[in-house]
Amino acid sequence: MSNTGTFIPPHGDRPFHPPVPATRKFTELARIWWREVDRGLLFLVLLLMALGTLAVAAAAPAASEQLGRRGVEVGEFYYLRKHMMWQIMGIAGMIGVSFLNRDAARRLGIVVFVGMLFLMFLVPFIGVEKNGARRWLEFGMSLQPSEFLKPGFAVVLAWILTWKLRDQNLPVLTFATAIMALIAGLLMLQPNLGATILFGGIWFVLVLLAGVSIQRIGLLIGGGLISITAAYFLYDNARNRIDSFLGGGTAFDQVDLAQRTLLAGGWTGSGLWLGIRKMNLPEPHTDYIFSVIGEEFGLLMCGLVVLLYLAILAKALLRLIDEDDLFALLAGAGLITQIGGQAFINILVNLQLFPSKGMTLPLVSSGGSSTLAVCFTVGLLLALTRRNPFLKRESSGLKDLFERPGAGHREERI
């Protein structure tokens, strides 16, 4: 302030702007996030996770008793407490990731992919073996790198396939196939045939959306069949499970026990904590939790769970229908494939319609790595599908991708 009473800015002739409080910044970011995020998808995910908590509560006593048979005494609701802790952490991470813009989400996905791929190289050497498979690393907690590699793989694959927009001469399909082959090799060293099939499904959907000729699709399918056949002859675990599935199994097989448990409750179930067959079911809180839902809550509840998965997939696909960013479209489709593919493989195993794969039911099953990884996947999907509702899209997204004249010419160049 001068002697004449005139205010003199402290930075020369520039106006002085007081710093914006951090709480105001966060409030503004939260307001923008709430406006742009797919609230319907978020609600469906949280509803499915709530049903998952109820299902883990039903399965926890059986899982704790089985642990006690192996000489490890824990409380009856030990797994429920752990599950709720992982869920709280997962939801916090999911919301945090969904605040990212698309570029930041893409960079995070790439970093996670690189980090988890590095850990995948360590698994065969220092990994912990459980149930005949070496898939976990111990860092004070069990970490399964392949769980976090799934969303990173979808993001990286989508990013690589968009390189074609910048340079038509880049062999992006070769790059994508080489990465898929590397991951398949690392997974089969564990061995993990179920995850290999899921990664292959993500890869197939993305290269199909990016544009592949009919001839190449046939070659890809043939290559997949050859790989499965090789797995049957080279890996005893895969051969035993496939033989058990094709042979119909016995009353002591996992998938047969799962189907019997699922059907034991009828339409309405036996009631919470009143199930009996779940006590002999292996991994009732993870791989076979869908069967526990069937026994204690009935086939109607199982149908509701399936409908929720279908609603989540449909809601996400509707969000991509008019998406005009190719990377967001491909990455979103890959993440949807991951969630949907894993869910329905697990459900088909419980229905004895697919060989046992040791795969959890996403957003429902208990587990540290699986819960955090699926929440991270949903967070990326929410981040990539955020949009300003007041802006019009310039293309028809998935519809445009399939109906655009000349799409066949683009296919031949990939």
Are 350 and 250 within 8 A, CB to CB? no
Identity of the highest mean pLDDT range in 26-40, 135-149, 248-262: 26-40
* Cα–Cα distance measured from residue 12 to residue 142, given in angstroms and rounded to the nearest whole number: 58
Question: Does 184 have pLDDT greater than 50?
Answer: yes
Q: What is the pLDDT of residue 90?
A: 95
What are the Cα distances from residue 162, in Å, to 8, 75, 106, 248, 414?
Answer: 53, 51, 12, 45, 11
Q: What is the pLDDT of residue 408?
A: 40
Question: Does 406 have pLDDT greater than 60?
Answer: no
Main-chain dihedrals φ then ψ at residue 281, nearest 5 degrees:
-85, 125
Q: What is the pLDDT of residue 411?
A: 42
**Which of these ranges, 255-259, 301-305, 391-395, has the smallest mean pLDDT?**
391-395
- pTM for the model stands at 0.85
Can you read off the two tokens belonging to residue 87? 């869920």
Are 364 and 52 within 8 A, CB to CB? yes
* Cα–Cα distance measured from residue 30 to residue 274, given in angstroms and rounded to the nearest whole number: 43
Identity of the highest mean pLDDT range in 32-46, 168-182, 340-354: 32-46
More confident of the two residues 392 and 405: 392
Can you read off the two tokens belonging to residue 124? 């065969």
* Cα–Cα distance measured from residue 83 to residue 209, given in angstroms and rounded to the nearest whole number: 36
Residue 253, classified by CB atoms within 10 Å of its CB into exposed (0-12), middle (13-18) or buried (19+), is middle
Question: Does 410 have pLDDT greater than 60?
Answer: no
The candidate with the shortest Cα–Cα distance to 102, out of 385, 396, 335, is 385
Mean of the pLDDT values across residues 50-57?
Answer: 94
